[in-house]
Amino acid sequence: MIQNMLSGRKSNITFQTFLSGMPSRDYVFQQTPYEEQIRQAAKMLKEADYILIGAGAGLSTAAGLTMGGARFTENFKEFIEKYDGPYMRDMYSAGFYPFPSEEAKWGYWSKNGMVNRVLPGVLPLYKKVYRLAENKRHFVLTTNVDYQFFLCGFDEKNVFATQGDYGRIQCRKGCHPKTYDAIKMFQQMDQAREGCMVPSYMVPKCPVCGGPMEMNLRCDQYFVEDDAWHEAEKRFGEFLGECEEKKTVLLELGAGFNTPTIIRFPFEKLMRVHKNMSLIRLNLDEAVIPASFGERAVGINADMGKSIGDLLEEVSGHDER
């Protein structure tokens, strides 16, 4: 009796459904030579009506905004000496350090704001990305928080930065749906910082609840999605709606596996559903492509400093290096 009850329950989970319908051998590195891949990708871009750029951390790294190495050890020397320990590996990890006071927290974040948001200016590689897309109807979806897409030429109406901005702050508890420009504050803090701390009078307070403020970066449930965020989300939805009818290239730049649910996986889902779309995936070492996409996808495993330049040269017909 018990055995019958058990065997009578038929599971719907099989290896195929577990793999979301993708064959287990599907995710492959393409064997096509680099030059041929660049030609294929350039052809896709030239023939496209619409370009949807999806950009992750790899693009900013390739553009020069590396989070570790000399940029970290040189700019954050006194922080590394003061706060020793596992957090002080790079700027990303250091952001998670349990700073002992608000003065210490803003000491760090004002420095980060200067190094990653205020001082770099527009980076040449981002300008090239703009030139790849400027002549087509385009939109940018990015998890990057360094504001480069807004500096390099794209109209802010065509950019959706989902994860925040190194130059904006919000209430720690997200008590009201607003974010605040912090650039001037960071510049003043940068002048006044001593021993990695800012003076107490400079510590920002929430204008509504009076509590502490925080960076406007998505790291917990209190992340504030303000009016501009929601407008960008709406415009992105409208663009996607138009893409359904048009020859669309998904140009994925350096979107790895930190938050693959925002760009990488949705792009693959779009590819499976919409046969009018093609995918160009540029990544330093994670350009694996579902083989079932066939000739609709190109995955170029290379330094994007080179591959984006080569792609632009092939598309524009001039020497861009």
Binding site for Zn ion (CB under 5 A): 171, 175, 206, 208-209, 211
| Smaller CB separation from Zn ion, 206 or 271 | 206
Min dist. Cβ of residue 85 to Zn ion (A): 30
Min dist. Cβ of residue 103 to Zn ion (A): 19
Instruction: Report CA dihedral (66, 179, 51, 128) to the nearest 10 degrees.
Output: -40
Min dist. Cβ of residue 177 to Zn ion (A): 11
| Smaller CB separation from Zn ion, 150 or 180 | 180
Min dist. Cβ of residue 190 to Zn ion (A): 25
Min dist. Cβ of residue 14 to Zn ion (A): 49
| Smaller CB separation from Zn ion, 209 or 219 | 209
| Smaller CB separation from Zn ion, 164 or 290 | 164
SS3 per-residue string spanning the chain: CHHHHHHHCCCCCCHHHHCCCCCCCCEECCCCCHHHHHHHHHHHHHHCCEEEEEECHHHHHHHCCCCCHHHHHHHCHHHHHHHCCCCCCCHHHHCCCCCCCHHHHHHHHHHHHHHHHHCCCCCHHHHHHHHHHCCCEEEEEECCCCCHHHHCCCCHHHEEECCEEEEEEEECCCCCCCCEECHHHHHHHHHHCECCECCHHHCCECCCCCCEEEEEECCCCCCCCCHHHHHHHHHHHHHHHHHCCCCEEEEEECCCCCCCCCCHHHHHHHHHHCCCEEEEEEECCCCCEEHHHHHHEEEEECCHHHHHHHHHHHHHCCCCC
Min dist. Cβ of residue 206 to Zn ion (A): 3
Min dist. Cβ of residue 173 to Zn ion (A): 6
| Smaller CB separation from Zn ion, 170 or 301 | 170
| Smaller CB separation from Zn ion, 146 or 214 | 214
| Smaller CB separation from Zn ion, 175 or 192 | 175
Cα four-point dihedral sign 97, 102, 107, 113: positive
